[in-house]
Each structure stands twice: as C-alpha cells, then as structure tokens.
Amino acid sequence: MTKFEGYFTALVTPFSNGEVDEPAFRDLVEWQIIEGAKGLVPCGTTGESPTLTHSEHMRVVELCVEVAAGRVPIIAGAGSNATKEACELTQHARDAGASGALLVMPYYNKPTQEGMYRHYMTIADTVDIPQIIYNIPGRCVVNMSLETMTNLSRHENIVGVKDATADLCMPTLVKAACGEEFIQFSGEDGTALGFLAQGGHGVISVTANIVPRLCSEFFKSWKANDVLKAFERHMALMPLHDVMFLESNPIPVKFALSLMKRCIGEYRLPLCEPSKENSDLIESTMYKLQLL
C-alpha cells in the first residue's frame, strides 16, 4: 500500500463563471507538488464537494490524478450520507487511479454506531481501495466511538482515520486499540503538533493550500526529532491556522488563495465571500507573514 504520512493538502476547487476552473486547479495541484505536499485530497469539504455535481466531482478527481501523475498519493473525497452513493464515488476513485478514498461520516442522517459500522463495512466490502474514515462531529453531529473504529479497523480496506474531533487523547487511544499500522491524520490544523506527539501520522490540512512548503518543513522537523524546530514552525503556522477558520471552511482559505492569484475566489452558494472585517484580518495576517 502507498505510504500515507505527512502533510496532505485538502484542496480547494477553483470556480470561474459558475464552472470548475480546470486550468487553475491544474496549476494548484502542480504548485502543491513542487512545494512539497506529501499527498493531495480533492473533493473534500475544502473542495466544496456538497455543491459539486457527480460529473464535476469525478472530473476533479480525474484531473488531480492526471496532473499528479504518480508523484504523490491522491486520497479522493468519496463520502456521502447515502451508502450507495458513497460506494459509487469510491468505485470511481479506484477506477480513476486514486491511491485511497476519504469517507466522511454520514451527515444529517445521524446514524447510530451500528449504522456507522454497516455503512463503512458496506463500502469496504464493495470497493477494494484503501479507505480513510473521516470523523468530524462538528459538521456531522455524530461522533464515531473508539469501539466502532476498532471494529472497522479490522477490515483490510479500512486503513485509517482523519480525526477532526480536536480531542488529543484520541490518537493515543486509537493507536492502542487499532495498532501502529492504522493511519491517523489530524483534520484540525491547529492541533498538528500535539496530534503527532500523541501518536498521529500526519495532517489533512486546509492551511497547506497556501503554505505547502512551510507545512512540509514543519513535518520534516518533527520526523527528524527536532522538536524545538518543529515547535518554532508550528508557532509560525498558528496565525494562519487561526484566520483560516474565522468563517466556515473553505471561505477563508479560498479568499487567501485569491489574494495569492491562485484562484479568483469564487464560491458556490450557500457559501459566499468573507465579511469585510474578516477579509481584512486574513489579508493583514498574510502580509505580516510575507505571503503577499
């Protein structure tokens, strides 16, 4: 299996005149790889996946795989609150050549632990591709229990979790229950250092959209056991982590990328541009960090 470790960028989906901006997306993927991203995640929440049509979703995954051309692993967003739809998107990810699939917890339905178990087992039994559970109670309301995750980890196709609970006890508990080989990504940029220290393997990051090299250097410091340098880089990243979540993701990060001329900052309703106050704060933070 492809090694999943380090900073994976949860990519935005650039739009232009209501359509996916394919040239901007291609350029973003190429820049991310050049700047040191260890992997890419198209069609997640940061990619505004709830507003993509199925054909757009599939096209974005295909583009990402095509441009990456095997240089870094691609974990394609393929989750849904309908198990059948999640199976179809996961099958497409496999057919497109993705290295894995990221499967968000079913949202709105509020499944029980048994329902969660059956959902993920159905996908894992249907499609032979490495699968990452995405546990994010803040968006999905429900939280997967450690027992359910442990039971799911026994399936050969369920290889890890993206944890956006911000509970820094979880990496250690999951490691003890599911084993060292069960991959753990933080889904909360601000917890990266603590998450790694508690047993994590990497981060699926929003902030890496704008500073992939700094994120990569932070992880390299950690892997080299240079804790002081890792902390220094973590401190440098924290102001960005902070402003990237002033409003619902991906509103701030898409605005930041527009300031960097990497997309035009177009959103799809119900998301829209950030407030003037928050726009000014994002811009001033980026100036202070010499990103503009």
Q: Tell me, yes or no, if 108 is annotated catalytic.
A: no
Out of 7, 117, 120, 134, the active site residue is 134
Angle at 273 between CA 245 and CA 191, to 5 degrees: 10
Q: Is 179 exposed, middle or buried (0-12, 13-18, 19+ CB in 10 A)?
A: exposed
The chain-wide mean pLDDT, for the chain, equals 96
User: pTM (2 decimals)?
Assistant: 0.95
So what's the pLDDT on residue 2? 66
So what's the pLDDT on residue 108? 93
So what's the pLDDT on residue 1? 60
So what's the pLDDT on residue 78? 98
Contact 15, 267 (CB under 8 A): yes
- Residue with structure tokens 């359910």? 148
So what's the pLDDT on residue 3? 80
Q: Tell me, yes or no, if 175 is annotated catalytic.
A: no
So what's the pLDDT on residue 99? 98
- How does pLDDT run across 58-114, given as a tens digit for each residue? 999 999 999 999 999 999 999 999 999 999 999 999 999 999 999 999 999 999 999
- Tokens standing for 270? 């119900």
Residue 94 and residue 76: Cα distance in Å, rounded? 9
- Tokens standing for 116? 């969660």
3-state class (DSSP) for residue 10: strand
- How does pLDDT run across 193-231, given as a tens digit for each residue? 999 999 999 999 999 999 999 999 999 999 999 999 999
Overall size of the chain counted in residues = 292
Instruction: Say whether the peptide bond before residue 270 is cis (omega within 30 degrees of 0).
Output: yes
Q: Does residue 159 surpass a pLDDT of 80?
A: yes
Q: Does residue 149 surpass a pLDDT of 70?
A: yes
Q: How many CB atoms lie within 10 A of CB 189?
A: 24
> How much of the chain, in percent, has pLDDT values that exceed 90?
98
Domains in the chain: boundaries? 6-224
Contact 127, 157 (CB under 8 A): yes
Q: Which CATH architecture has domain 6-224?
A: Alpha-Beta Barrel (3.20)
Out of 162, 175, 220, 223, the active site residue is 162
Phi, psi of 61 (to 5 degrees): -60, -45
DSSP H or E stretch at residue 139 = helix 137-140
Average of pLDDT values for 19-40?
A: 97
> How much of the chain, in percent, has pLDDT values that exceed 70?
99
Residue 265 and residue 182: Cα distance in Å, rounded? 36
Average of pLDDT values for 237-256?
A: 97
